[in-house]
Chains A and B, each alone.
Chain A
Amino acid sequence: MEATCTIQRFNPETDERPHYVDYRIDVPDGTTILDLLHAIKDQQDGSLTFRRSCRSAICGSCAMKVNGVTIMVCKTQVQDAYIKGKLVIEPMGNFTIIKDLVVDLRFFWDKIHAVRPYLAERYSADAAKPYNRMTPEVVDSLKSLADCMFCGACYSDCEAIRVNRNFTGPAALTKAYRFAIDPRDRMGTDRAIELADSEGDGMWLCVICQNCQDHCPQGVRTIEAMDGLKNLATMSGQGAQGFTAAVDLLWKQANLYEVGEFENKMRTKRGLPERTHNNADMRRILKLTGLVQAAKPALLEGAPAPTTPKGGDS
């Protein structure tokens, strides 16, 4: 079939801003979007610029936005992406464009490098035990996490990074988690604690839109990894500041703020139930859900019996 495809172009030496160019091109069956880009480059415009290498979905070079979603163009058929006569190819989002479809990945690599993405060996070699034994079950738990090929798609489509570039981001956090749960790693949980403590709230900013996991070309379970890190940090007493503070307030006064008489009057007028500071129920909930154990275990040890806080109506 013949297809029209629209490509965002930008030459830093001549263009002030990116613009779109349409190309008409013949697309035989089985043509991938990467084949299509090559055909345009070879036959129509040699200056069309994009990264690619393995063309078998393992090197991570060719992540781009196609019809608004970041994908690997080498493994995507034109026929699958050509919808209602439209195929729009743009560089990845959340990155600075270098030229056409090539973006500057330094921001991404800085995030990756910052999590110390290498094994801190627990054991050194000795003749009796030249390498670490590891069960197939542990291998299974690491396998998908280690599949990340650093293509950058999860940063391109990340809603948290779009609004706050302090967010460490899915690929780097996944890498950190991959080592944190590797029994061979000396740092282990400390990795989560460090990240939890780091300036800029690096690991807490995820808005759980799930784009990273849903768009990951390798099927890496990034959400599971980020949740895992948060759990490791929280269980070690390094929960997000807001979370710990909230549990503390709920434990002490069953509300996040002090409820006054006036507010309860207003509530009654509007037909809403009164808010109380009776925290016996709340404490039971906090214990049952494990939230207090996770956030502030100190509260449980020798905690005073519930009392009625001042201003309470009960």
Chain B
Amino acid sequence: MITHDVVIVGAGLAGMRAAIESAKVADTAVFTKVHPVRSHSGGAQGGINAAINPKDSWKDHWFDTVKGGDFLGDQDKAQVFTEEAPERIYELERWGVVFSRTSDGSIAQRPFGGMNFHRCCYASDKTGFLLLQTLYEQVLRHRVRVYEEWVVTKLIVEEGSVRGVVAYELTTGKIHAIRAKAVVLATGGTGRMYRVTSNAHACTGDGRAMAYRAGSPLEDVEFVQFHPTGLYGHGILVTEGCRGEGGFLLNGEGERFMMTYAPTKIELGPRDLVSRSIWTEIREGRGVRGEQAVYLDLRHLGKERIMDRLPQVHSLCRDYLGIDCIKDPIPIQPTAHYFMGGVPVDVWGASTYLQGLFAAGEVSCISIHGANRLGGNSLLDTQVFGRRAGIAAARFVQGRELLGFPNGQYDQEVARIQTLMERTTGTNIGELRTELQRTLTDLVGVFRNGPDLQRAVLAIEALQRKAQDMVVMDKSMIFNTDLVGALELQNLLLGAELIAKGALRRTESRGAHFRTDFLKRDDDNWLRHSLVFAGSDGPLWKDGEVTLTEFKPSERKY
């Protein structure tokens, strides 16, 4: 049986950062369903925040992060996050990241939403991509063992401690049991439950679903970030860096409508506020030509600046919409982008619920992003807490015995997959996925309300019943992407159920969670984390304390 002390699931920026650290001292292996450089961290464009300018201060970054999260983030953890940020940037630079520079050779920084300083370090508009390249280079350099195109399908836990995982090896078609003393989940987000999303096809929330099924709760799942500027009709990310560089948002009447909603920060308000403002314009009939879109206008920035700072945006507009953003405004719409909630862990990425379980990056909930993450903070999250999870997992396995592996659980997982493979008639996977995505985008979006959420819950539960007899059409085991799609859909359905139920339960508006039937933030009743556990009759909900240290919750104004 394949055995490693530390098994890392996922090879995006968080997983690779953890691996680099863990592999220095412990037997470490990374399992990833796509090759590391295909990970969706590479989709991040705009930048990574850190107070590296002598005139800036990590304490301001700390406050901006807490305020951006509408005071739901744990302040002690956000402090660690922002205090450690500069060292992680320096490290990336020393590893070879090609950051954009100012004329004196310093790392250039651009303004980003919800922040009071030009704090976002960037590499034109390919920051995530270039970070991902560099992290992969370091993985090679440190000779980290990577199992590429291995789909982890189950987390094995017995008597409250992690024993390993089950993984489907695509190129051979084999289903392996893998033993481990510690498992670090770094599987990213789950945007594929939405019809309009910036996320890659691979973002199906596998890690959070596996952790939940294995007995870990999930925290703050109802908080879903909609990025204000998705390419219209595609949902593909158009970076906040466009607005950081000075781009305008215009409604169908040509007005810079953000002046009304965020008089001080205007286009550079936090993402939740900007997305709500865009939807308000659209709902009140001021969209572009009656479509569900407004314009992102870069024309006044000029060709040189656009081609230097935003070349990827320029190509995306050309290839997907057939427009030249130097001459034409870009039609955009809010797009499901980031999940603030996830597997609850401490500042060392360790679960307090399952021994030997760690998590880092988007799959985790530490919580630093609270109810709304600021742009430029997610790349930083992967570096600060990926490293910490790697250190902690390696430390955890030192001198610890390998516990027994429950073969029965492996057999059950093989049986689950066999059942899927053997069924010849039933529901079409594509139809179910499309229906789920429509439900989430229509009913669990930027604006939410009780009746819509109620309908969403019923619809998702109906889809879950239908999914019990879905059919995998591909009957061969080698590189069966149809089977992978079926397993991913089960993860998406579970995640969607919890998000819709969590959103229904939280009767207030905070950060990215906005209820039109409960317009105000309600600190008396809801200044708390939500925790959901798998019960025998469905999800069980509990509340968790929010740690307040330095900053008293106040009304958010931008």
Contact = CB atoms under 8 A, between A and B. Distances in A.
A215 interface: no
Interface string A167-211: 000000000000100101100000000000000000000000000
Interface stretch (B122-130, B266-274, B277-285): B122-130
A135 B39 CA distance: 30
Interface stretch (A125-133, A228-236, A248-256, A276-284): A125-133
Interface in B487-535: none
Interface stretch (A19-27, A49-57, A259-267, A299-307): A49-57
Interface in B275-298: none
A143 B102 CA distance: 15
A184 to B, nearest CB: 6
Nearest to B433: A42
Given A47-B475, A54-B200, A59 B93 contact: no
Contact of A58 (B129, B202, B478, B482): B129
B414 interface: no
Contacts of B428: 42
A285 to B, nearest CB: 40
Nearest to A98: B479
B379 interface: no
Nearest to B102: A136
A139 B99 contact: yes
A22 B133 CA distance: 38
Interface in B200-232: 200-202
Contact of B320 (A11, A58, A75): A75
B45 to A, nearest CB: 9
B201 A130 contact: no
A102 interface: yes
A229 to B, nearest CB: 18
A102 B202 CA distance: 16
Contact of A55 (B101, B233, B236, B485): B236
B478 A98 contact: yes
Contacts of B86: 130
Interface in A12-47: 12-14, 30, 32, 38, 41-43, 45-47
A98 B428 CA distance: 25
A175 B104 CA distance: 27
A237 interface: no
Contacts of A102: 479
Nearest to A35: B234
B37 A149 contact: yes
Nearest to A118: B137
Contact of A46 (B38, B137, B482): B482
Contacts of A47: 473-476, 482
Given A54-B40, A57-B316, A41 B94 contact: no
A184 B96 CA distance: 7
Interface string A129-167: 011111110010011001101100000000000000000
Nearest to B100: A139
B137 A119 contact: yes
Contacts of B103: 135-136
A307 to B, nearest CB: 53
Main secondary structure of the interface of A (DSSP, over half): loop
Contacts of B399: none
A99 interface: yes
A101 to B, nearest CB: 10
A150 B129 CA distance: 12
A146 B98 contact: yes
Interface string B21-55: 00000000000001101111011000000000000
Given A52-B201, A118-B141, A131-B94, A61 B476 contact: no
Interface string A94-117: 000011001011000000010001
Contact of A125 (B90, B126, B171, B481): B90
B98 A54 contact: no
A174 B315 CA distance: 22
Given A42-B428, A56-B316, A135 B34 contact: no
From B429, B472, B481, residue with most partner A Cβ within 10 Å: B481
A104 B479 CA distance: 11
A58 to B, nearest CB: 5
B364 to A, nearest CB: 21
A93 interface: no
A239 interface: no
From A32, A56, A102, A139, residue with most partner B Cβ within 10 Å: A56
Contacts of B105: 133-135
A123 interface: yes
Contacts of B87: 130
B319 interface: yes
Given A42-B428, A99-B479, A133-B105, A55 B90 contact: no
A58 B93 contact: no
A121 interface: yes
A33 to B, nearest CB: 12
A61 B315 CA distance: 18
Given A54-B42, A131-B94, A149-B37, A30 B233 contact: yes
A118 B144 CA distance: 14
A61 B104 CA distance: 38
Contacts of A54: 38, 40, 42-43, 200-201
A99 B43 CA distance: 27
B262 interface: no
B161 interface: no
Contacts of B406: none
Contacts of B325: none
B274 to A, nearest CB: 21
B430 interface: yes
B352 interface: no
B463 interface: no
B184 interface: no
A130 B277 CA distance: 41
Contacts of B471: 46
A131 B93 CA distance: 6
Nearest 9 Cβ contacts at the A-B interface: A42-B430, A46-B473, A133-B105, A119-B96, A47-B474, A118-B137, A131-B93, A46-B482, A130-B90
24 contacts: A12-B476, A14-B476, A32-B320, A42-B429, A42-B433, A47-B475, A47-B482, A49-B480, A52-B201, A53-B202, A54-B40, A60-B37, A76-B319, A117-B140, A118-B95, A118-B96, A119-B137, A125-B94, A134-B105, A143-B124, A146-B98, A149-B37, A149-B129, A184-B94
Interface of B: 34-35, 37-40, 42-43, 86-87, 89-91, 93-96, 98-107, 124, 126, 129-130, 133-134, 137-138, 140-141, 171, 200-202, 233-234, 236-237, 312, 315-316, 319-320, 428-431, 433-434, 471-482, 485
Given A58-B43, A119-B134, A184-B96, 12 more contacts: A46-B485, A47-B475, A58-B42, A76-B319, A98-B479, A118-B138, A135-B105, A136-B101, A139-B98, A143-B124, A146-B133, A149-B129
